[in-house]
Chains A and B, each alone.
Chain A
Amino acid sequence: MTVAPKREAYDVVVIGAGPAGLAAAATSAEAGLSTLLLDENIGPGGQVFRAIASTPVTDRNQLGADYWVGADLVQSLRATSAEVIHRATVWSLDRNLDIAVSVGGASAFVKAQRVILATGALERPFPIPGWTLPGVMTAGAAQTMLKSSALVPDGRTVIAGQGPLLWLLAAQILRLGGRIDRILDTTERGNYFAALPHAFAFLTSPYFAKGLAMMREVKAKVQVVSGVTELSAAGEGQLATVSYVAGGKRETIPADLLLLHQGVVPNVNLAMSADVEHRWDDLQLCWSPVLDASGNSSVAGIAIAGDGAGIGGANAAVVRGRIAARAAVEALAPAAAAKLRSMAALRADLAKAERGRVFLDTLFRPAPQFRIPSGDTIVCRCEEVTAKDVLDSVAIGATGPNQLKAYRRTGMGPCQGRLCGLTVTELMAQARGKTPQEIGYYRLRAPVKPITLAELAAVPKSEADIKAVVRG
């Protein structure tokens, strides 16, 4: 399905085919709006429903009922007239709602009346010593391979970090017959007390019983070390050992694969490049867009749904997608909104889906030493810049992430800050005695994903385009 969009303009363009994007596109198309869904991956599902239409893991119990919910979402979307393009990389979105998308090596341009960004989340950087070694990956990476290619860890495998995804991944690996030697839980002891006041809401959320059962399932089969306060990976050109401190005692174990996870954070690149205002979220420790109750951002016509709107999980993402789409329908075709679920009902759905979130956010708030590295630990993987490099630059006058680019090229490699941005902000904030909000973030610009010069040069040009740049 790597063909260019059929039209030049759409009522609604949804970007990202995860839970929020699938739900938003279906709702918008159901109401009769011309709808285009652009997605970077091979098939629908985003990360949580990765490979939902193609997974070779056919035993439904192995991936769990929560995964297969995604199949219904895909089916609902396919029943509509929405145009869906996969392997489509959106590299530009601006205030005029002009979208540039790369499909099959060529760029196309479409205009939207409304854009719903559903670009989801990515895993929070986990900058420990040795995290760039081959053999160190994110837990999400292992889960992606498990869902889309039925691949499971085979050698000596250590999973380290915290959060619901970590336990889900561990359970899935074990169900598929994969190997896990040890789980290193980095949840801070103090977080259990801090989370206690929010426990009641969590006890009544659907996550509680499921989470508990999954942890029991994993703990019955794998040695779990809790209260891990230090973590590092080492090896010559390849991971060889994982070192950790728990209860004041250091241990070093041999390992072929280390899977890291300390929660997910909004993937802000496209939204920020479109000038959407973001603010630092002190509980979730990340940038979240400033949105109204319908998901509308500070840029007229751009709404954000799903985890890109602030981490809420898959159930909340689906509802946020429906809310954003309903708001678009209300604006563009008010009469058609009547046949959709009412906004009041959707908001009630959302409140239900978000129940217990504050508990999870508080319990799994990552510890400072796993967010703010020191010494020779690499901060920027692309440009290979260490924590010490960043601090040295602060000492000679770098004031924030954008100045730091000129000093060290942080955030200027191909990942465009996705893997270093939060670390740089927090590290510089700490060094300068300021808040992350005051320190700010990289100024992000299109293209938000690298495209070749040849692709840009091949873009059709009008007479006026040529006159604008050619002399004489």
Chain B
Amino acid sequence: MFRRSEQDKRPQVEIFVDGVAVAARQGDTVSAALLASGRDARRSTAVSGAPRLPYCMMGVCFDCLVTIDGVGNRQGCLVPVAEGMQIEIQKGKREIGK
């Protein structure tokens, strides 16, 4: 859906998406890194289980909700990637304790 422009010379950052290593770039948000990865990053909604991807990328729609380092329902579009960050794609409702 998206690809990186060749002029992007930012250093790589390795994150893990559902346990799989993914190359992101320093300064990417979690959502941008997921969309750039080419992986299936669709979450499913809490209400009907419908698949979603980020819609607004600016912190207002909450369709980018994702589990980051064990904390559920984070807005992936507002959180910058960090080396070794653990991302889980959310399926359905957030679990208690996460």
Which residues on the A side are within 8 Å of B56 (C-beta)? 122-123, 137-138, 140-141, 419
Residue of A nearest to B28 (CB): A149
The answer to whether B62 touches A137, judged by C-beta atoms less than 8 angstroms apart, is no
Other-chain contact of A381, B8, B36, B57, B63 (Cβ < 8 Å): B63
Q: How far is the CA of A450 from the CA of B32 in the complex (A)?
A: 21
A-B contact count (CB 8 A): 136
The answer to whether B2 touches A151, judged by C-beta atoms less than 8 angstroms apart, is yes
- Interface of A (DSSP majority class): loop
A145-B32 in contact given A153-B1, A153-B2, A418-B61 (Cβ < 8 Å)? yes
Residue of B nearest to A383 (CB): B47
The answer to whether A151 touches B27, judged by C-beta atoms less than 8 angstroms apart, is no
Q: 11 more A-B contacts (CB under 8 A) besides A150-B5, A151-B5, A382-B62?
A: A42-B78, A56-B5, A56-B25, A58-B7, A134-B51, A138-B55, A144-B77, A149-B29, A384-B48, A413-B62, A452-B71
Q: Which 3 A-B pairs have the closest CB atoms?
A: A141-B57, A134-B53, A414-B62
Other-chain contact of A145, B2, B47, B78 (Cβ < 8 Å): B2
The answer to whether B4 touches A151, judged by C-beta atoms less than 8 angstroms apart, is yes
Task: Show the binding face of A for B, using Cβ within 8 Å.
Answer: 40-42, 47, 51, 54, 56-59, 87, 89, 122-123, 132-138, 140-142, 144-145, 148-155, 176-178, 237-238, 256-257, 267, 381-384, 413-415, 418-419, 450, 452
B39-83 at interface with A (beta carbon < 8 Å): 42, 45, 47-48, 50-63, 65, 71, 73, 77-78, 80
Of listed B5, B50, B53, B59, residue having the most chain A CB within 10 A: B5
Q: How far is the CA of A354 from the CA of B96 in the complex (A)?
A: 50
Other-chain contact of B5, A137, A176, A238, A418 (Cβ < 8 Å): A176
The answer to whether A151 touches B35, judged by C-beta atoms less than 8 angstroms apart, is yes
Q: How does the 8 Å CB contact mask read for B6-22 relative to A, with 1 for contact and 0 for none?
A: 11111000000000000
